[in-house]
Amino acid sequence: MILAAGVGSRMRSARPKVLHKIGGRTLLDAVLSAAEGLAPSRVVVVVGAGRHEVERSLSGRAVAFATQDPPRGTGDAARRGHDLLGSGEGPVLILAGDTPLLRTETLRRLVEHRRRGGLDLAFLSFRPPEPGQFGRVVRDGRGRVARIVEAANAGPREKKIREVNASVYCFAPEPLRRALAALRPDATSGEIYLTDAVQILISGKGSVDALEAADWREAWGVNTRRDLASAEELERRQRVEEALDLGVTLLDPATVRLGPRVTLSPDVVLHPFVSLEGNTAVGEGAEILPFTRLVDSQVAAGATVGPHCEVEGARIGARARVGPFSRLRPGSEIQEDAHVGTFVEIKNSILGKGSKAPHLTYLGDADVGAGSNIGAGVITCNYDGEKKHRTTIGENVFVGSDTQLVAPVTVGKGAYVGAGSTITEDVPEGALALSRVPQTNKDGWVERRKGKKDEKQG
């Protein structure tokens, strides 16, 4: 169960809190992805403020939605979600939708901790540098968990406690039902707190324990814009550390951004101000140069991309060279040893093995064979105002500068296209295609023009 019904008023935003993003994905998506790693039999998301937006954001995901309206605290939200969980015999994991740094491995440790101890409840705790507004974990004289006290209700001594609640709970099914039934509104706020379940179960001779997170950063919760910025930096640092441990060279770790689904291989080199997002993979020995952004793209071993490149939904082959100032749009495939140069844009096209488009070119909806050369200023005219059409360029073709290829059109293997041509018909293999207006030279024209100007001025 993921609690995502909070108003999030401290974010000062019209957007639901759980839909704010870090690392290119929403807080809620990050939490849900961590939970899905456990292969749960059922997932319930409790929604409230902006629930239609939240539900749309999870369209296609295997989740059920419970609604909490009006908001009355985490305990009330858990009750709403519990109604949809069904009567399963397995443990119930309850997560907050605003803890985006959680890892599946940590959740698995918590589930196993509850199982091994035969506990009614195991919850996750952590020790941040500054406890702030997190609920404090109060222990008795023997070190056993006694209760969780919300920061707003904590006394001076309790506020000094460093161990705090991460809002991650693993309940046995029957104890959860008992605890939810016994929850009562807080006398001060009127809200129903799920944290009270700890004291309720302990008072009923139940078994409760806290498992401390190995890395306190995982349990970081987001309530304000400052928290969001901190979470972004915490995640960035986690990814940087993971990359360094894998054998990746980061020339300036402070400026590199690595998304949570990015895969890196040993001996990759990342230069300053590189951003890798989405499902991006970079192969062994590849180099990404400064001010380059890759989204949902694959870069094979030994390739070089950048500087100042934008790559989205593209595949870059081994030893290929892309950049500087290149843009690859979705559906682009740059095969091995190919070269995409300065101010070149490619969309939904294949640039074959060893082919090159060095500068000032647009290739859209095109297939370029191996070993071909695309000159400066070449454009595939792929859109007729209603439909997109494809251009096919064979192997070892030379296309001269400032050429327009009006699709649908095919240039055969080994053909040449003269510079400045507009090609509207297919070019046979081995042919030379030209479509220039004949050149005219007028001898003495400059002097005659100059003489007319002088005469007028006189």
Would you call 234 helix, strand, or coil by DSSP? helix
Pairwise CA distance, residues 188 & 153, whole Å: 8
User: The tokens 């081995």 sit on which residue?
Assistant: 430
Residue 87, Cβ neighbours under 10 Å: how many? 6
Backbone angles phi, psi at 399, to 5 degrees: -110, 115
Burial, 260: exposed, middle or buried (Cβ in 10 Å; 0-12, 13-18, 19+)? buried
Contacts of 142 (CB under 8 A, 6+ apart): none
Task: Transcribe 25-84 into DSSP letters.
Answer: EEHHHHHHHHHHTT--S--EEEEBTBHHHHHHHTTTSS-EEEE--S---HHHHHHHHHTT
- Where b means 16+ CB within 10 Å and e means fewer, 2-33 reads bbbbbebeebeeeebbbbbbbbbbbbbbbbbb
**379, 395 contact by CB (below 8 A):** no
Positive or negative, the Cα torsion across 172, 177, 179, 185?
positive
Pairwise CA distance, residues 265 & 258, whole Å: 13
Pairwise CA distance, residues 412 & 342, whole Å: 26
Q: Please report, as a single letter, which amino acid is at residue 444.
A: G
Pairwise CA distance, residues 373 & 115, whole Å: 64
Residue 99: closest CA among 141, 128, 121: 128
Determine whether 359 is an active site residue.
Answer: yes
The residue from 20, 82, 339, 359 that is catalytic is 359
Catalytic positions, written as ranges: 359
